[in-house]
Amino acid sequence: MIIYDNEFLPQAGALIESAKQSIDICTFKVEFTSHHRGRNLMAFYQKVFDKRASGVKVRFMMNWNTERRACPSTNKSAVSHFKKNKIIPRILPRNRCCHAKIVMVDAKKAIVGSHNLSVASCSRNFEVSYLVHDQIAVTALQMIFNAIYKASSTI
């Protein structure tokens, strides 16, 4: 299923709500905002936090660079939101850019595409993502995520 522009958050939110065991997310940009344009994005994060609180395992990777090159400034402030909700964000080794955008649930379904977890990506930009149901593809994606996550470190 093709997901474009502002269809992302409703589809990603429904995917998160379906999680029974695990949620794996990686993104380049993370943004938390109290601005009214970020209301739907904040509702998405709340769904992730609620699932974590109910016992669903949540793993989250985002872009980070210790030299502060090519790293959105919003990522730094997002760390405290995740830690407050008992999710420890991880980063790639050697200042490697985390540019992949993945939302995966229970190793059964995934959304892969260009949507960052930011207001612009979810409301203004032209973005396209794909909802993957194919079990062979999702299993392969899960293996890739697991390997990258294992090599990553906490912030």
| Integer Cα distance of 10 and 40 in angstroms | 9
Helices 39-53 and 8-17: crossing angle in degrees, nearest 10, is 10
**Cβ distance 112 to 102 under 8 Å?**
yes
Local confidence pLDDT in tens for the 155 residues of the chain: 899 888 999 999 999 999 999 999 999 899 898 888 888 999 999 999 999 999 999 999 998 876 666 777 788 888 889 999 999 999 988 888 889 999 999 999 999 999 999 998 988 899 999 999 999 999 999 999 999 999 998 88
Domains of the chain (ranges; CATH) run 2-154 (3.30.870.10)
Per-residue pLDDT at 66:
67
Task: Give the closest residue to 5 by CA, choosing from 119, 154, 100.
Answer: 119
Per-residue pLDDT at 37:
80
Per-residue pLDDT at 5:
83
Per-residue pLDDT at 73:
78
Q: DSSP letter string over 118-137?
A: SHHHHHTS--EEEEE--HHH
**Cβ distance 111 to 132 under 8 Å?**
yes
**Cβ distance 63 to 124 under 8 Å?**
no
